[in-house]
Structure 1
Amino acid sequence: MNALVTKLDHIRISLTLRHTWAPATAASKVQLSTLPPEPVIPSKKPFKVELVGGKRYSWCTCGHSKKQPFCDGSHKFKAQGLSPLRFVPEKDTTVWLCGCKYTNNPPYCDGTHKQDFIVSATLHEETDS
């Protein structure tokens, strides 16, 4: 326990010193967490999509895009820290892209939307704020 307290005290002292020396403009860019935000759930079902081989796609990972399942850049304002998953299919194909954003095989649906934590979750509804 003493080692943990000492380590935390060291971090606090280090942060205090850095803050003292940081320019005023840097203070507004400081984030309190290094963890990326969690995606919101725009759909509890996958999206059936026809993909063109050789074409580059950007699958939305944050859930805020109004062009689901693809990215429209909303993450830049609503989910900083999350970026779209870019992929290029080898051939023309029809696939099911994840709509819940919690697949273990992104961007493809793996059935995660059937799990209780997705089934019981509230769908994200976009607001114009």
Structure 2
Amino acid sequence: MSMLVTKLDHIWITLTLRLARPPATATPKVQLSTLPPEPVIPSKKPFKVELLGGKRYSWCTCGYSKKQPFCDGAHKLKAQGLSPLRFVPETDSTAWLCGCKYTNNPPYCDGTHKQDFIISATLHKETES
């Protein structure tokens, strides 16, 4: 009798596990991207700004902000996957913040805007919606 119970238990467990998994055809096919979107170029020149020491700033990394060079949250709709770069300067200072969004020293300009790929790129213009 114990052998029969064991076989029935095994069959019940097997059927339960098979039914618990949805069929492979029911799984939606979704393409996931692991790369963030490319930023647009709002300016081919840096922005000269006065920064206050100890104040937290959010530098726009996507290029869609209407408050360049700072973030206004536009990335949430237009460039999901990009987030602003938050930074706190140590002292009050004048700084040149990158306008092309391709600097290798974010948020500060490093002259990347002088390279051919930026010079020949189309400047992003906000369209009225």
What is the TM-score when the length of structure 2 is the normalising length? 0.77
Larger Rg: 2
1:50 alignment partner, SS class = strand
Deviations 1:41-79 (A, max 9, x none): 000000000000000000000000000000000000000
> Matched residues in 2 for 1:60 and 1:128: separation?
20
> Matched residues in 2 for 1:36 and 1:86: separation?
18
Counterpart of 1:20? 26
Note the residue ranges of structure 1 that are not aligned, 5 or more in a row: 1-15
Deviation at 1:127, TM superposition (A): 1.2
Deviations 1:6-61 (A, max 9, x none): xxxxxxxxxx94x7346xxxx8xx55322100000000000000000000000000
Q: Where in structure 1 do 4 or more consecutive aligned residues deviate above 2 Å?
A: 19-22
> Matched residues in 1 for 2:83 and 2:31: separation?
17
Counterpart of 1:89? 89
State percent identity of aligned pairs.
Answer: 84
Note the residue ranges of structure 2 that are not aligned, 5 or more in a row: 1-22
What is the TM-score when the length of structure 1 is the normalising length? 0.77
Q: Give RMSD over aligned pairs.
A: 1.8
